[in-house]
Amino acid sequence: SQQGEEDPQALSIQEGENATMNCSYKTSINNLQWYRQNSGRGLVHLILIRSNEREKHSGRLRVTLDTSKKSSSLLITASRAADTASYFCATGGGYQKVTFGIGTKLQVIP
Amino acid sequence: GAGVSQSPSNKVTEKGKDVELRCDPISGHTALYWYRQSLGQGLEFLIYFQGNSAPDKSGLPSDRFSAERTGGSVSTLTIQRTQQEDSAVYLCASRASGQGAFWELFFGEGSRLTVL
């Protein structure tokens, strides 16, 4: 079963705009990760946020985590056409299985 | 190699045949995962190997699916008597152990299976 659910499932924006994707999960977590998948490729790890963190930045990425609402958001600022991909949140890891959400398909229009 | 390697990259088979998909994880990675991704969908967890522990097989959809990991390295996912609904991309990922490397999964490019 899928632990996380991303929304929106699809998002289309113009280059230069910001893209925000949300993830909700069901059980308690130690951390939450975001991954990116280019069409027809494997997933690539973007960023991890621990359960005791509320916000984390990496380059143009900003991730927030609200454990009381069991939700996380991924913000990509100043989007580029190359950011076009699917984005997944994932929970678990360590000695537990890692489960992924259904993903948000982002299209950035040049 | 430097990354996770999966083979074959593409496999077309007839309904009822058995298939084997192979995953070579990054050298030294103790954890290995298999996922299934149907067209345009999310990742469905199948099975998880961690070191010498018993694997977590809770995601295997039926007894036609099995996986093994030999010598703590290479893994093979076997699907017996394939059905058309088995058509999907099968993704393998591995993970290191130890502080600072305990969480991130490294994925292969996947094996695309088409059952006719």
Q: What is residue B61's DSSP assignment?
A: -
Residue of chain A with shortest Cα separation from B5: A42
- Which residues of chain A neighbour B4 with C-beta distances below 8 Å? 42
The Cα B48–Cα B51 span in angstroms is: 10
Select from B92, B94, B103, B106 the residue whose CB has the most chain A CBs within 10 Å, as the one to mutate to test that interface.
B103
pLDDT at A30 (0 to 100)? 87
The neighbouring-strand residues paired with A55 are A64
Percent of chain A surpassing pLDDT 90? 75
What is the band of B40 on the pLDDT scale with cuts at 50, 70, 90? confident
Two tokens at A35?
A: 């991954």
Mean pLDDT in residue range B62-76: 93
Two tokens at B16?
A: 């009822």
Q: What is the pLDDT of residues A29-71, one digit of tens each?
A: 889 999 999 988 899 999 999 999 999 999 999 999 999 999 9
pLDDT at A27 (0 to 100)? 86
CA gyration radius, chain B: 14
From the list B41, B59, B109, the residue facing A102 with the nearest CB is B41
Chain A touched by B45 (CB under 8 Å): yes
Pairwise CB contact (< 8 Å): A100 & B45: yes
Pairwise CB contact (< 8 Å): A100 & B42: yes
* CA-to-CA dists, residue A81 to A12, A76, B78, angstroms: 11, 12, 38
Two tokens at A11?
A: 């998002």
The mean predicted confidence, pLDDT, of chain A is: 91
The Cα A51–Cα B15 span in angstroms is: 45
pLDDT at A46 (0 to 100)? 96
What is the band of B100 on the pLDDT scale with cuts at 50, 70, 90? low
The Cα B91–Cα B43 span in angstroms is: 9
Residue of chain A with shortest Cα separation from B102: A94
Residue of chain B with shortest Cα separation from A105: B40
Q: Is residue A7 predicted with pLDDT exceeding 50?
A: yes
pLDDT at B82 (0 to 100)? 98
